Amino acid sequence: MDEKKNEELESKQYIIVKLGSEQYGIDIQYVDNIVRMQRVTRVPKAQPYFKGVINIRGEVIPVMSLRIKFGLEPDEFKNATRILIIKIEPQAAIGMIVDEVKEVITLSADNIDKATSGNDEKSLYLSGVGKQPNGLVSLLNIPAVVVDRDSAM
Amino acid sequence: MDVSQYLGIFIDETRGHLQELNEQILILEKEPENEDTINEIFRAAHSLKGMAGTMGYKRMQRLTHDMENVFSEIRNGKMKATPNLIDLLFRGLDALESYLDIIINTQDEGTEDNQDIIDGLQKVMEEGLGLSAGQPKEAPAPVPSAETSAPEGRHLVLAEHELLAAQKAKEEGDNIFEITVFIQPSCILKAARAFLVFKALEEAGDIIKSVPEVQDIEDEKFDFDFSMVLLTKKPQEEIRTAILNVSEIKDVVIAPANLAQGGQAAVPAPVPAGETPAAPASEVPQANEPSAPAPAGEAAPVQAAAAQAQAAPAAKQTQAPAQSKAPAKAAVNRSVRVDIEKLDDLMNLVSELIIAKNGLVSMNGDGEMTARDSSFNEQIEYLERVTTNLHQSVMKVRMVPIESVVNRFPRMIRDLSKKLGKKMDLYMTGEDTELDRTVIDEIGDPLMHLLRNAADHGLETNEERVRLGKQEVGSIFLDAYQEGNNVVIEVRDDGAGINVEKVKQKALARGTITEEQAEAMTDKEIIDLLFRPSFSTAEVISDVSGRGVGLDVVKTKIEALGGNIETRSVLGEGSNFIIRLPLTLAIIETLMVELGNEKYAIPLGSIETIEDIALDDVKYVQNKEVISLRGSVIPLIRLDQVLDVEHTGEEPASLTVVIVKKGDKLAGLIVDNLIGQLEIVIKSIGKYINNSKLISGATILGDGEIALILDVNVLV
């Protein structure tokens, strides 16, 4: 009984999304909502990876393209394209465009390898690698993805 | 017990009273004989003292008490309001304000005694009255009870263990008092007063019993009196003073408890069981005795009533309210205190409603009209009227007269006048102009900066003014008025004006601008240099201003509020700083325009006119497109290029130009299409997107689409 509880405490749920050929895990605690792709209003002079803003239930929410942020080829909007609404702070939501939302998995702490000390841009966005029966999944470090490194510098 | 729940009220009301005092003393300074003023002052000071006492702020109470004494003497015609005294009183008010600030921050009054002010007040009193030290203290003693009956002490029956404790204390030489405290029937916070009495007594000794129980007193389950038994080493008089220091205490009866009167010496080892019933009997006359020192002059029938112990409070209840708080009643107005957050919620809901309404309107816009549609249309128009009215009402609720900010300025100018040794007067108009609460909270400091500037740099010295043939006394004007959807506040002086040449030299010396730039700049542009960070032209850095942190802060603040500031100055005649502020920050009227297939909103407040310009009329000046409109040359801004809008279709034969203004600078924004006027709700686009501030926000249109709001101030 106790053992089971412990395990539950240490394990986390991740939403598995697809970007191109790769799979990424996003900690479910950051995800407020998942919506279909919708009309995005362009914001002029914004950072290139910001596609613009969308209207979610009366709130104006900026939307970023993870593909552009990660240096992949630009998004092609298909039927499976989704926007994940991420909330890091209560008053500041942000949308992230992904090619597809696949499933929710549970990873216990011992199935996660902490991020290796890579120096390229992409590894900064990862918090670790999760092992699951059908392969490995990169876990995104959401706060790092949201922070605008260009403006911080 | 906890008085912190009253803290908010205390802070608000103290602010009000301090403001009142400031204003009235200013009047008193000019008209030392004005009786109404003196009465007002006395009233405000008295309430202030009472409130400070209730909350247990002793230092504050002491200072107000001494100030009140002075006012009281002035009121009685025994003293004159000399300039010296007025200065002292103002210092006292400042000290009280700083107490209040400390209280706001820490809920405690701090440790500053302001003894010098208190001493000063005492001295003035002595001199004014020609009395020796000590005497004036008695005059309006803090006993707010020159009225009604001689109260009677209640008798307490001690339980066994209490009696034991009492006797033990007695053996150790402590005094044992039975104390009955009577609170004024007009008192609103009875429990708070009682709490303060308890607090004061606990400092002096141990309370071994109270009637009613402490818990009941805290819950206000008592009439207007309560009793207790106190063991203390302090003398009776000291205890009395301690209790009477708590305000709104009507009277207090202290009697030595007589548990040991007969017995103690003779029977060193008391028999508690037998003692208990014996004690009450012998104490009754005792308790009555101290009623003698109670204030003299009360009506005889009342005294008779007082003879019957418990009848007394009842009698007081009916009598006193009429006497003590009558003047305060006059100020009652029919208003409700509402938390600003609740108003924000309400505002948000109204915003949602307007979005929903816009949705209905746009749904109705397309498709053909049928008979059903036309009645639907009518209903929508009705809904539109209602939401607009609702919005206006909610806005009105949030509006606060600017008076609450500017009413402290006369006092400030007076102080500045003394400090700078310049004679000056402040003339204010339009104090009743209203602004959104959020704007009001922010506008105080910028205005203060401007006024200080006017007093310090703007006005010449009195001698200089006489030499120049101006009126000796300088004038500063503060005018507020509404202009369309803006509120304009002008800070004007009739001083020297801005010396453009001096500013230019200074800017050159500092390297802010180059020689060539200086040549090309207009006077206006040079004056605008004053608003750059750390730019002060005052040769002497004074206490008042000149540290160069003024005008740029003013500008930033005002722009953050969505307003702008403009300067007009004539050398030798004075300067005028004109501040324009939006009436509200949440909902604005805009013109919707189309660029390519994107929609943008331009705030109506900054739009001058809309023009249709033939392509041939566009001229070039220094390679920039301009148009000439009614005699003025206006630069054109191609919004589609600035905003990187993808172009569709070919260049039309004529341009639709929206002429916007920033201050008195005009510019023409070229747009593809005009959609129409729309009332929109401003939403933030969040902090993650940075886009060089071109976009000041976004709004949700009726069909759920988002339109961005252009910030004209950045574009122009």
What local confidence, expressed as pLDDT, does residue B368 receive?
60
The 8-class DSSP code of residue A41 comes to B
Using CB atoms, pick whichever of A55, A62, A94 lies closest to residue B700: A55
Tally of CB atoms within 10 A around B330 = 7
Residue A71 DSSP SS3: coil
What local confidence, expressed as pLDDT, does residue A64 receive?
92
Task: Please enumerate residues of A whose Cβ is less than 8 A from a Cβ of B.
Answer: 39, 41-47, 50, 53-55, 58-62, 64, 92-94, 146, 148, 151
Higher pLDDT among residues A129 and B326, named by residue: A129
- The answer to whether A97 and A76 are in contact (CB under 8 A) is no
Structure tokens at B372: 């059903």
Q: Does domain A14-110 sit in CATH 2.40.50.180?
A: yes
How many whole angstroms separate alpha carbon B155 and alpha carbon B88? 47
Alpha-carbon distance A151 to nearest alpha carbon in chain B (angstroms): 9
How many whole angstroms separate alpha carbon B18 and alpha carbon B48? 8
Using CB atoms, pick whichever of B684, B686, B704 lies closest to residue A94: B686
Q: Is B84 left (phi over 0), alpha (psi -120 to 50) or beta?
A: alpha
What are the residue numbers of the active site of B? 46, 68, 453
- Asked if the peptide bond before residue B212 counts as cis, ω within 30 degrees of 0, the response is yes
Chain B partners of A55 at a C-beta cutoff of 8 Å? 700, 704-706
Alpha-carbon distance A47 to nearest alpha carbon in chain B (angstroms): 7
Confidence check: pLDDT of B653 > 90: no
Domain boundaries, chain A: 14-110
User: What does the buried/exposed string (b/e) look like for B375-386 if buried means 16 or more CB atoms within 10 Å of the residue's CB?
Assistant: eeeeebeeebee
What local confidence, expressed as pLDDT, does residue A120 receive?
64
Using CB atoms, pick whichever of A39, A58, A62 lies closest to residue B689: A62
Mean pLDDT of B323-345: 62
- Binned at pLDDT 50, 70 and 90, residue A53 comes out as very high
Confidence check: pLDDT of B296 > 60: no
Q: Locate CATH 1.20.120.160 in chain B.
A: 4-138
Torsion angle of alpha carbons B402, B408, B414, B417, nearest 10°? -70
Residue recorded with tokens 């040079």: B526
- Model confidence over B42-90: pLDDT tens digits? 888 888 888 888 777 888 888 888 888 888 777 777 777 777 888 888 8
* pTM metric for this prediction: 0.49
What local confidence, expressed as pLDDT, does residue B258 receive?
65
Give the contacts of B622 (CB within 8 A, at least 6 positions apart). none
Q: Locate CATH 1.10.287 in chain B.
A: 340-401
| Whether A148 and B690 lie within 8 Å, measured CB to CB | yes
Tally of CB atoms within 10 A around B531 = 17
- Cβ-Cβ contacts under 8 Å between A and B: the total is 71
Residue B433 DSSP SS3: coil
Using CB atoms, pick whichever of B355, B642, B692 lies closest to residue A58: B355
Which of B61-65, B105-109, B169-173, B530-534 has maximum average pLDDT? B61-65
Using CB atoms, pick whichever of A39, A58, A62 lies closest to residue B705: A39
- Say which CATH superfamily domain B4-138 falls into: HPT domain (1.20.120.160)
ipTM attached to this prediction: 0.84
Which of B159-168, B360-369, B500-509 has maximum average pLDDT? B500-509
Chain B partners of A45 at a C-beta cutoff of 8 Å? 643-644, 691-692, 694
Beta bridge partners of residue B629, listed in sequence order: B632
Q: Locate CATH 3.30.70.1110 in chain B.
A: 144-289
- Model confidence over A119-137: pLDDT tens digits? 666 677 888 888 887 788 8
- Binned at pLDDT 50, 70 and 90, residue B586 comes out as low
| Whether B698 and A54 lie within 8 Å, measured CB to CB | no
Q: Which amino acid is at B184?
A: Q
CATH number of B144-289: 3.30.70.1110
Torsion angle of alpha carbons B517, B522, B524, B526, nearest 10°? 30
- Model confidence over B659-699: pLDDT tens digits? 998 767 889 999 988 998 888 878 878 778 876 678 888 88
- Binned at pLDDT 50, 70 and 90, residue A148 comes out as low
| Whether B708 and A55 lie within 8 Å, measured CB to CB | no
What local confidence, expressed as pLDDT, does residue B659 receive?
93
Confidence check: pLDDT of B294 > 50: no
What local confidence, expressed as pLDDT, does residue B143 receive?
40
Confidence check: pLDDT of B291 > 50: no
| Whether A47 and B355 lie within 8 Å, measured CB to CB | no
| Whether A46 and B690 lie within 8 Å, measured CB to CB | yes
Residue from A90, A96, A92 nearest A40 by CA: A96
- Strand-pair category, A92-98 with A82-89: antiparallel
Chain B partners of A94 at a C-beta cutoff of 8 Å? 686, 688
- Model confidence over B436-471: pLDDT tens digits? 877 888 888 888 888 888 888 888 888 888 888 888
Beta bridge partners of residue B668, listed in sequence order: B636, B659
Q: Which residue of B has its CA nearest to A151?
A: B690
Is residue B539 classed exposed, middle or buried when 0-12, 13-18 and 19+ CB atoms within 10 A define those classes? exposed
**B403-582 has which fold?**
Heat Shock Protein 90 (3.30.565)
Beta bridge partners of residue B476, listed in sequence order: B426, B493
How many whole angstroms separate alpha carbon B711 and alpha carbon B709? 6
Rounded to 5°, the CA angle A38-A42-A46 comes to 130
Alpha-carbon distance B711 to nearest alpha carbon in chain A (angstroms): 13
Alpha-carbon distance B380 to nearest alpha carbon in chain A (angstroms): 21
Mean pLDDT of B483-493: 83
- Say which CATH superfamily domain B587-715 falls into: CheA-289, Domain 4 (2.40.50.180)
Alpha-carbon distance A42 to nearest alpha carbon in chain B (angstroms): 8
- Model confidence over B94-145: pLDDT tens digits? 888 888 888 887 777 777 777 788 888 787 777 766 544 444 444 343 444 3
- The answer to whether B460 and B496 are in contact (CB under 8 A) is yes
Rg (CA), chain A: 16
Class of the domain covering B340-401: mainly alpha
Q: What string of DSSP letters covers B319-345?
A: HHHHHHSHHHHTT--S-----HHHHHH
Chain A partners of B681 at a C-beta cutoff of 8 Å? none
Task: Please enumerate residues of B whose Cβ is less than 8 A from a Cβ of A.
Answer: 352, 355, 598, 642-645, 683-692, 694-695, 698, 700, 704-708
Q: What string of DSSP letters covers B123-150?
A: HHHHHHHT--TTHHHHTT-S----SS--
How many whole angstroms separate alpha carbon B299 and alpha carbon B150? 10
